[in-house]
Structures are given as structure tokens and as C-alpha cells.
Amino acid sequence: MLEYFAKWKQAIFEVVQEELQDRKTIAAQVQTLGPDAIQRIEDFTNGGKMLRGGLVCLAYQLVQNTLNKDALLAAGAMELFQSALLIHDDIMDRDLLRRGDASIFNQYKMLSDEIEVEDSYHLGEALGICSGDLAFFLGFELLTLVASHNSKALELITLCSKELAYVGIAQMADVLRGAVTKKTDTNTDMGKFLEEDDPEKAVLQVYQYKTGRYTFSLPMMAGAILAGANNDLIKELELLGEELGVLFQLKDDEIGIFGDEAVTGKPRGSDLREGKKTLFYVYANEQLQARDKFTFLQHFGDTDAEDSEIETLISLLESSKIKEQVQAKSQELAEASRKRIQSLPQVNEEFQKLLLDFVDYNLTREK
């Protein structure tokens, strides 16, 4: 399955590269830093696995056997949107590294260090904001290229505008939740956005929109729409995407806590240390007994915690069966996804099989 994604990535990148070449020529007329800015976006985009672009191709081939340039352009647009979101995310999270390289704003920060400016970090952020915006516009432009001769693509532009708006809002909720260090007075104007009648539902809702609808539903719907799928199939892929997204995110959370550093490259328990408000956190908060809960909350989100303290939290999540509980939830979602995939109407069996492999991959991956 991964070989398929690697092959798609190569094909998507070639199409994106070809289109951006023209844009660089035009950008040079605006200012000399234009082509350089586009080149950075291109390299950054090429640094990813292109999961979203691959899903456009997969869904397209689920309906039509072979791929065409329109599908690759749409896939490229999804990847440019993803780059844009990551470029902005890195500024929000102050992440200096991304995909093994300096994040875009950090690239500009380092370049700014070479010249005389008052605040190179801030200049890096400012240029990073512009760079993310630019990547969004380049993505929309690729979609209009498809739309110029393919009437289905307009539907895609509408879909992207809508789903990107939702992901923007989900991101705001996520950023806000992540920034809160202590119990918040929900009587304040900002605090009321943190009020959660059902914390589990709140976490799952962000997963549904940020990962589910955006990372999985949108690309699969995009591919299917371009391939001329009927509305039933498009609707099924939308729902499947939401399931796969939550499944993907739960696994991500599991790896972020229980993952093996030798495999993931990140220290065990790093999400606990960073205080990430995952489903594990919600369950710990709800289910741990008084003393255990005290211990958990004492070290959760403490960036200075000792490794042994973090290991204690990990043990608590295991002994309380919270880990099992989340895994059971994943199994349930995976089962629902498999059933949905198996009953997709009139699809190419090779790619149907690939989707099933993809479910297993999301359930078993270790990084």
C-alpha cells in the first residue's frame, strides 16, 4: 500500500513542479524574492508523504481505473493547502523544525539573522504568514486550472473553501485548548469557548473536522467528484473519511504517549509532557481515582518532568485500562470502516482492497 502512495507522490510532485515553474517566472516580475518564496513552498510540499494527494488519486482510481492530469492537479492543490496550514501552524506552535528541515518561518528567521533587522524572529513570522497565504492561493489556482475545462472542478473549489473554513475553526479551538495552562473560569468571554458539557465529544469533534473531514473526507470526495462518481459513493467516502480520521488521530495520540523512541524519533510520553489534550487525557481526568488523578494532573503538561515521572503517568494509563479503552474504540471504528468499504457501490476492486489495507495500516502503524 505504501508503495502506491510513493508512486502517487512522485506523479503529483511532477505536475505541481511543472505548474509552479510558470508561477515563478511571473513572480519574478513582482519582486526578486517571489520565485524564491515559491521554491521554498515547493520544497516544503515535497518533504511530506502526500497522504492527502494520494487519497485524491486513490478515490479517483476507485471510480476510474487510470489517473489523469486533472486528478493530479487536484491532488497537488490539496498538498499546497496542507503546506499552507503547516506553515501557519509552525508559527502558532513555534516549531522550528518540520519534516526534518527548518520550518518555513524559521528559514526566513535564519535568513533575517544575516541582515540588520530589529527582530529577526518576528520578521521570520511575518514572512511565514505571507508564505502560507501564498501557498493557499497557489492551491486555489491549481484548482481553477482544472475547472477551466472540467465542470466538476467548481464543486471541488466550493468543497475546499468550506472544508478549509471548518479546519480553520477547528484549529482555533485546538490552539486555544492547547494554550490553557490551568482550569479556566468559563464565565469569561474566552473561557466560555472552553466550556465542554462532554469533553470526550469535544475532543472527537476536533478530530472529526481537523483530521477526519479535512485529511480524509475532502481528498477522497475530491477524487471521486473528478472521476464522476455518483452522490451515493461521494457520501459514503465522506463518512468513511470521518471514521478514518478519528482512527488516524487516536493512533497518533497512542504513538505520542506509548511510542518507541527508536521508531518514532520522539521520546516516550512526549504528548503527556507537552500536555496534549487527547482522549487519553479526557479519560484520565474522568476515570482515575483521587490519588492517581492527582499524580496524573501534577505531572501532565510539565515540560520539566523527570523521565521517571512521565513513565508513572504512562503506567497509570495502562493499569487503569484507559489505553485498552482507546484501543477498543479504534477497533470499533476500524470495523465500521471495513464494513463501509466492503459495501461501496460499484468500485474498482484493486483500490477497494487498498482502502482496506489502509484501515489496517492506520490501526497498526508504529510511527
Within 196-255, the residues that bind its own copies by CB under 8 A are 205-206, 209
Does 169 engage in binding with its own copies (CB under 8 A)? yes
For its own copies, the binding residue among 3, 100, 116, 289 (CB under 8 A) is 116
Does 274 engage in binding with its own copies (CB under 8 A)? no
For its own copies, the binding residue among 173, 239, 336, 356 (CB under 8 A) is 173
For its own copies, the binding residue among 10, 25, 161, 346 (CB under 8 A) is 161
Does 121 engage in binding with its own copies (CB under 8 A)? no
Does 118 engage in binding with its own copies (CB under 8 A)? yes
Question: What whole-number distance in Å separates Cα of residue 64 and Cα of residue 1?
Answer: 18
Nearer to its own copies, 158 or 315 (CB): 158
Q: Are 170 and 202 in contact (CB under 8 A)?
A: no
Question: What whole-number distance in Å separates Cα of residue 30 and Cα of residue 44?
Answer: 22
Does 31 engage in binding with its own copies (CB under 8 A)? yes
Window 62-101: contact mask with its own copies (x via CB under 8 A): ----------------------xx--x--xx-x-------
For its own copies, the binding residue among 97, 175, 263, 328 (CB under 8 A) is 175
- Residue that the C-alpha cell 473528478 belongs to: 226
Nearest alpha-carbon partner for 197 in 189, 186, 208, 209: 186
Window 128-157: contact mask with its own copies (x via CB under 8 A): -xxxxxx-xxx-xx--xx-xx-----x--x
Question: What whole-number distance in Å separates Cα of residue 61 and Cα of residue 47?
Answer: 24
- Residue that the C-alpha cell 470521518 belongs to: 242
Does 171 engage in binding with its own copies (CB under 8 A)? yes
Within 328-347, the residues that bind its own copies by CB under 8 A are none
- Residue that the C-alpha cell 518532568 belongs to: 305
Question: What whole-number distance in Å separates Cα of residue 94 and Cα of residue 175?
Answer: 12
Does 32 engage in binding with its own copies (CB under 8 A)? yes
- Residue that the C-alpha cell 518576528 belongs to: 122
Q: Which amino acid, residue 31?
A: Q
Does 33 engage in binding with its own copies (CB under 8 A)? yes
Does 195 engage in binding with its own copies (CB under 8 A)? yes
Per the structure block, which three cell numbers stand in for 203?
475532543
Per the structure block, which three cell numbers stand in for 59?
478515490
If one counts every other C-beta atom within 10 angstroms of the C-beta of residue 94, the result is 11
